[in-house]
Chain A
Amino acid sequence: MYRYVLKRLLLIIPILLGVAFVVFTIMDFTPGSPALIMLGQGATDEAIAQLNHQLGFDRPFFVRFFNYIEKLVLHFDFGNSYSTKQPVAHEILARFPHTLKLALASIVFSSVLGLSLGILSAVKQYTAIDTTLTVLAMAFAAVPGFWLGMMLILLFAVKLGWLPANGVTTWRNFILPMIALSMQQAAVDMRLTRTTMLETIRQDYVRTARAKGAPEKTVIWKHALKNALLPVVTNMGTSFGHLLGGAAVAETVFVIPGLGTYIVNGIRMKDIPVVMASITMFAAMFCIIILIVDLLYAFIDPRIKAKYTRSR
């Protein structure tokens, strides 16, 4: 098991190098030289050329890429932002907690909501509750998160004044962004849980459990749910990816100074070090979550756990 985790952690390294390479290549196509961005429109051609030379931007593509990676690996140096001239690593460390909080809160909220409502819907199949939940899930799956976010601001911040519309000072600031970011995922999770739960309930072993006189609660929670959970957990890794992507938009709506807004501003300003660093951070988070999800399987499915232990 430990060897497996270590192997997977080591595998993240080449993937992140790959991500860095892909983003570096894309950003290389971005028009406009970095020196021009730093010096502003009024700069003379010589000043631009000199700064480009000083910072090494006139060197070949691969040399620049290796220099970047070298600095990153040896000194944890992501370079300096072109626009603020501050080290990117500092900025990322300051912003990262906000995004992590938002993403974790959202994945927990959407999973709990999606799972519980999915189970409820499956257990009460063909009742008014089931129909209502299914219709709501269809609707929420189609609503863009940023629009939902603005509607939430309109209702809870502007009209009712219950919750703040932006900022990050207290946990109350995170409620609306969390809901805006989660609802679409919750809808997807709910529909998936409902489907798998319905399939599981029809299995022979569930009928056996019922036949031997186990109370309905035990049948659902102990026997059916564990198996119905697997596809939902499988989907959690991917949904975390969606959430991370959605965070960029949600943070913009709620003016949260996280990695998402950092990346959006970085892209707008063509601030290459900022974009490189934040996308790589996003990818790293994603890889680690996928690993955690894979390990979660083992806890839920003893068959998979057995495989890991044997491969040791």
Chain B
Amino acid sequence: MSTNMKPQAVTAQAKAKKQSQFKEIWRRYKKSRTAMVGLIIFLAIILMAICADLIVPYSQAIAQNKNARFLTPTSEHWFGCDHIGRDVFARVVHGSRVSVSVGIVVSAVCLLGAGFLGAVTGYYGGMLDNIVMRVLDVFMCIPSNLMAMAVVAALGTNLVNLYAAMSISQIPPRTRLIRSVILTEVGQDYIEAARSYGAKDSRIIIKYVIPNAMGPIIVNTTSGMATLILVAAGLSFLGMGVQPPTPEWGSMLSDAREYIRNAPHLLYFPGIAIGVTALSINLLGDGLRDALDPKLKD
């Protein structure tokens, strides 16, 4: 690169380089058929969550019908009806909203929280690192869903508190991962080079360390989303997620449990919905891991 290049030209070049990097990753991602299936299913589920009202009105998901109790699947009620005659198909469709939003919101909060803690502790090390890590050690000894339960109990059960509880329980393990990724980057020569020409710490962290450490963090965040959806469903199953009558897959299963002998069909659909969502995210995560791994480059 010549030194007399205009700043605009440099940014344009950097932009082009970034674009070609995305293209390269996408090209490698596309090659895996299972990864593409995962991506398509996951996008379809997100679309379903966004357009739930267009597929089937919300009123159907909460409207009770005495005559339709425990109805098995029919042409009118595709997935049958539950113990108070609500349409299970409508509830499964609308239930996707809670699961998808938990997956996305909590992942984003964890990425910010754990990203900040991990970057600062990994980059500066020393006393600060020591203190934060010892505190996280304590948090890591509490199984994360018990932690989430306790926080929900303290804050009260609603969607926002569910987000908060799950974020609090997920930030410690993720901080550890991000910190270890950052630590390997900080040891590299190019960071030393940036320091030696006097770049500020914040600039080094944001401009160099984080973009280079992004690969494993993206993969971890994606795969973690499946865990989040499973844990959230478990919490709702125990009655510590969203409150009725809001449709949610875990709480639907909790209702279905009471009628396992008489109406087993109530068990099938919410369970399959959770499984398919988690599976699609796992496939997506595996595909991303392979696409982002430079060792596997063709």
Contact = CB atoms under 8 A, between A and B. Distances in A.
Given A242-B143, A267-B149, A286-B141, A150 B278 contact: no
Contacts of A275: 150, 153
A126 to B, nearest CB: 15
A135 B279 CA distance: 11
Given A29-B155, A138-B282, A268-B239, A248 B142 contact: no
A279 B150 contact: yes
Number of chain A interface residues as a range: 35 or more
Given A27-B150, A264-B149, A286-B141, A146 B234 contact: yes
A22 B279 contact: no
Contacts of A22: 138-139, 142
A240 B277 CA distance: 25
B238 interface: yes
Contacts of A30: 153-154
A214 interface: no
A192 to B, nearest CB: 13
A72 interface: no
Given A146-B253, A158-B261, A245-B146, A31 B238 contact: no
Main secondary structure of the interface of A (DSSP, over half): helix
A151 B267 contact: yes
Contacts of A145: 234
A150 B267 contact: yes
Interface of A: 15-16, 18-19, 21-23, 26-31, 138-139, 141-147, 150-151, 153-154, 158, 241-242, 244-246, 248-249, 252-253, 263-264, 267-268, 270, 275, 279, 282-283, 286-287
23 contacts: A15-B141, A18-B137, A22-B139, A26-B150, A26-B154, A27-B150, A138-B283, A139-B279, A143-B278, A144-B274, A146-B253, A147-B267, A147-B274, A147-B275, A150-B257, A154-B267, A241-B143, A244-B146, A248-B146, A248-B149, A282-B142, A286-B143, A287-B141
Given A138-B283, A248-B149, 11 more contacts: A15-B137, A15-B138, A15-B141, A18-B137, A143-B271, A144-B274, A144-B278, A145-B234, A158-B260, A248-B145, A282-B143
Interface of B: 134-135, 137-146, 149-156, 226, 230, 233-234, 237-240, 250, 253, 256-257, 260-261, 264, 267, 270-271, 274-279, 282-283
